[in-house]
Amino acid sequence: MTNQNHTTINILFVCHGNICRSPMALYYFQDLVHKKGLEDMFFLDSAATSTEEIGNSAHRGTREKLRQAGISCQGHQAKQMKPRDYGTFDYLIGMDDWNIRNMTRITGGDPDNKIHKLLEFAGSSRDVADPWYTGDFETTWNDITTGCNALLEKILRSPNQWK
């Protein structure tokens, strides 16, 4: 993660427990911008809509997919999204419709249209399936990488729109 300031584009990745999909997206996106030398352009974080996993590390399946890609998630601890996150972040990226409903409830609405499903940036209304239930981290990884690449492309096309 980079230091948050007024010149960065601030993105919060959100899923139910903050141990599978949102950390996978966070660390993949962080690696993506690092490889492009754009880390100073972003402040990145992840959170949960629930309290069930607070304090826990990333799920072993998420850790394994990231490890296979040469990406570390060392030190990750699940935390819950807070209402104040709406004012802090330019993008609040949920993984499925249930996340979006819960995120909107937590923030008290979405008047600035900041809350999005990850795969919408790749032109899809599909959910990123929760591997906690499916056990299929490969499909989740493919969705996360597709969505994160599309999100970065959108931002790079018009970065000043999100500051």
- Verify whether residue 21 is a known catalytic residue: yes
Confidence of residue 4 (pLDDT cuts 50, 70, 90): very low
Segment holding 142, helix H or strand E:
helix 137-157
Q: Are 46 and 18 within 8 A, CB to CB? A: yes
Confidence of residue 158 (pLDDT cuts 50, 70, 90): confident
- Kindly report the pTM of this predicted structure: 0.94
Domain ranges across the chain:
9-162
Please name the CATH architecture into which domain 9-162 falls.
3-Layer(aba) Sandwich (3.40)
Mean pLDDT in residue range 77-83: 98
- Verify whether residue 90 is a known catalytic residue: no
DSSP 3-state of 88: helix
- Verify whether residue 31 is a known catalytic residue: no
Active-site option among 15, 20, 73, 148: 15
Active-site option among 45, 96, 127, 130: 130
For the beta sheet containing 91-94, the strands, ordered from the edge strand earlier in sequence to the opposite edge, are 42-48, 9-15, 91-94, 115-117
